[in-house]
Structure 1
Amino acid sequence: MRHVFTVASFSRTTTPIMLTELSYDGLTGYGEASMPPYLGESQATVTTFLEKVDLSRFTSPFETAAILTYIDALDDKNTAAKAAIDIALHDLLGKLMQQPFYKIWGLDPQHIPPTSYTIGIDTEEMIRKKVSEAEQFKILKVKLGLDTDKMIIDTIRSVTDVPLCADVNQGWKNKEEALAMAHWLQVRNVVFLEQPMPKEMIDENAWLTERSPIPTIADEACQRLQDVPQLKGVYSGINIKLMKCTGMREAKQMAELGRSLGMKVMLGCMTETSCAISAAAQLAPLADWADLDGALLIANDLYRGMTVENGYCKITDAYGIGIDLIH
């Protein structure tokens, strides 16, 4: 990490990842599992999962549905490990078809929203430093959930008036106080609340969503496709992350289902290299909001891929997920 990363429940300076490769017909697809400790996965668990995988039973990578159904059935969890294979498979397929994946899916990169840049919980001095590093961004994502919430917002507002989105990471525990904060934040140009209260507080989150002057977005409460229908009415929208939902295939299904239910769609990330970030960016035209800054928060990226120019995600016409390995 370029800076210590602090949210309502923890701080860390590193994130373990596992990189994968799938090869076929002389081409190689790249994938990634990013594993923040709270997800319950590690390099050891991903290694154990990958050792179970036997793709020799398939004759072609174009058996996409069968391959990913098989991968998902190997274990109930290990979603980041599954995402590593899914991403590599999509990268390989795009290279075989000689197309970037957004084109294969018929998506328009001109519809990609500006990406937010994350400001973690920190001191006033460090918050000002982080904001100064994010001058090009059109929207900032602010981590809240402790007793420093108002200090953080006031500090940011002392140096910039760009729109903010507030990620509480389940940090608030009282619905009336959460509603009061929602009104306080709206006045300060905060455009939505991400996971304001613990995901188990279903009735309280629904109560807040009904009354909040700004939308609420499910993050920890939104893991996979089957979660989406039961979130309607509890939150205004969903945050989709490849590491939680097993990769690109299911992420696209979640975005389309959320849209069909009248929900807002946010496309998020973990701290990841440009591999997983560029994979997510192929889906970004489906999103109302993008939070694809993960590769910008790390100091040792291994790939060239999606870039951010003047606050906007820029993807190329490179085949697959659009990355090059930095040798």
Structure 2
Amino acid sequence: MKVYYRTYDLAFRYPFTISNGRTKTHQPTFIVQLEHLGRVGFGEAPAITYYNIPVEKMVEDLERKKQFTEKFAFTEPERYWHYLHHLFPTNPFLVCALDIAGWDLYGKFKGKPLCQLWEGNTGKQTVTDYTIGIDTIEKMVEKMIEKPWPVYKIKLGTDNDVAIIESLRRHTNSVFRIDANAGWKKEEALEKIQAFKDLGVEYIEQPLAKDDWEGMKWLYANSPLPLYADESCVAEHDVDKCSGHFHGINIKLTKCSGLTPALRMIRRARELNMGVMVGSMNESTIGSAAIAHLQSQIDFLDADGPLLLKEDLATGLHYENGNVATSGDPGLGIRFTDLYQK
């Protein structure tokens, strides 16, 4: 097996801001390519600053152990993930990129799209939201009107959160999902959630700090809307901790280290009677295709990365009125674009 990689800095359509004033104009991302027995698999891991794994760290770790990555006798992706998990124990982002590429390869060997390799209703489509980042109220309204969509994910965590939702609601009947990115305190959260419950809000994502388990237990008992964990649910061992504190979990492939653990997290959440969403970390079409193949397994989908980026790296996803369809080709079903090939 041969391993190749590329790094990119993809521009956003608009500056992307979440709570605590974190703004970025570009999304750094790491693309890996596995070649084995005449087939090629692709994977992606975007870099997120506050997780302290930049693309440079992914490159450094892969280069240091590249020969071991290539020497593995690949037969199926679960075995490969376990090998990678031990090879790169402190770099789940790199493991994710390689795991997705392994699944892409495996799907091509089997001649099937990934969704057909897993249990679930492969005909089920789960509407993806479209994210509106924090901005002035006027600009957030403008972004929403520019992109008519059945479900919007609204980033909050400001002093004007209720006013933002009230203003957006005056311009659309679409469903709202709110992501506070750990930007509230518990009493503030409950007050805002009570205001939101009559404004067409479906659920609240990560209202409190990731380690405020006591606050989340209190909010869970009192919230009139469902609460979903994001920053509080990074890896597999976090799923059980979220039970009794959240109504559901948001799985991020990059954070949990790939599709292989994500599938186990979905199963465990179901055993605990929790809802499941899979979220975006602003992946290009490569990583977003991996997310989209999971839609038959989950309740809520956040796979809007390619819609938020000014630049993309591949084709193979089709977005229409909230639905995202994969191409039907084996594996991820994506094609790397000539513009970015090196």
Q: TM-score range by the shorter chain?
A: over 0.9
Using the alignment, how far apart are the partners of 2:324 and 2:217 within structure 1? 32
TM-score, L = length of structure 1: 0.96
Equivalences for residues 79-158 of structure 1 within 5 A: 79-135=92-148, 137-158=149-170
Using the alignment, how far apart are the partners of 1:200 and 1:114 within structure 2? 30
Using the alignment, how far apart are the partners of 1:122 and 1:37 within structure 2? 20
Which amino acid letter does the alignment assign opposite residue 34 of structure 2? Answer: L
The reply on whether 1:19 has 2:31 as its aligned counterpart is yes
> Is the CA contact 1:112–1:286 (under 8 Å) kept in the aligned structure 2?
no
1:172 counterpart residue number: 184
> Is the CA contact 2:129–2:304 (under 8 Å) kept in the aligned structure 1?
yes
> Is the CA contact 2:80–2:102 (under 8 Å) kept in the aligned structure 1?
no
Give, in angstroms, the shift of residue 300 of structure 1: 1.1
Quote the sequence identity (%): 35
2:72 counterpart residue number: 58
1:287 counterpart residue number: 298
The more displaced of 72-81 and 179-188 is: 72-81
The reply on whether 1:246 has 2:257 as its aligned counterpart is yes
Alignment partner for residue 227 of structure 1, among 238, 242, 267? 238
Using the alignment, how far apart are the partners of 1:163 and 1:322 within structure 2? 29
Give, in angstroms, the shift of residue 56 of structure 1: 4.1
> Is the CA contact 2:69–2:84 (under 8 Å) kept in the aligned structure 1?
no
Using the alignment, how far apart are the partners of 2:329 and 2:79 within structure 1? 26
Using the alignment, how far apart are the partners of 1:134 and 1:256 within structure 2? 34
SS at match of 1:17: strand
Which amino acid letter does the alignment assign opposite residue 126 of structure 1? Answer: K
Q: Which runs of 4 or more aligned residues in structure 1 lie more than 6 Å from their structure 2 counterparts after TM superposition?
A: none
Using the alignment, how far apart are the partners of 2:184 and 2:210 within structure 1? 11
Give, in angstroms, the shift of residue 57 of structure 1: 3.5
2:9 counterpart residue number: none
2:53 counterpart residue number: 41
Instruction: Considering fraction of residues, name the structure with more strand.
Output: 2
1:209 counterpart residue number: 220
> Is the CA contact 2:76–2:106 (under 8 Å) kept in the aligned structure 1?
no
**TM-aligned CA distance change 1:44 to 1:283, over 3 Å:** same
Using the alignment, how far apart are the partners of 1:244 and 1:46 within structure 2? 13
Using the alignment, how far apart are the partners of 1:321 and 1:151 within structure 2? 41
Give, in angstroms, the shift of residue 125 of structure 1: 2.3
1:169-222 deviations in whole A, cap 9, x for unaligned? Answer: 00002x222111111001101110100010111011111011111100000000
1:275 counterpart residue number: 286
RMSD, matched Cα:
1.2
**Unpaired runs of 5+ in structure 1?**
none
Using the alignment, how far apart are the partners of 2:124 and 2:216 within structure 1? 30
Using the alignment, how far apart are the partners of 2:301 and 2:114 within structure 1? 18
Give, in angstroms, the shift of residue 106 of structure 1: 3.6
Which amino acid letter does the alignment assign opposite residue 31 of structure 2? Answer: L
Using the alignment, how far apart are the partners of 1:199 and 1:106 within structure 2? 31
Using the alignment, how far apart are the partners of 2:138 and 2:128 within structure 1? 24
Using the alignment, how far apart are the partners of 2:136 and 2:126 within structure 1? 30
Give, in angstroms, the shift of residue 252 of structure 1: 0.9
SS at match of 2:333: coil
Using the alignment, how far apart are the partners of 1:87 and 1:222 within structure 2? 20
**TM-aligned CA distance change 1:25 to 1:76, over 3 Å:** closer
SS at match of 2:32: strand
Which amino acid letter does the alignment assign opposite residue 123 of structure 2? Answer: Q
Give, in angstroms, the shift of residue 290 of structure 1: 0.5
1:162 counterpart residue number: 174
Equivalences, count: 324
2:197 counterpart residue number: 186
Using the alignment, how far apart are the partners of 2:151 and 2:135 within structure 1? 19
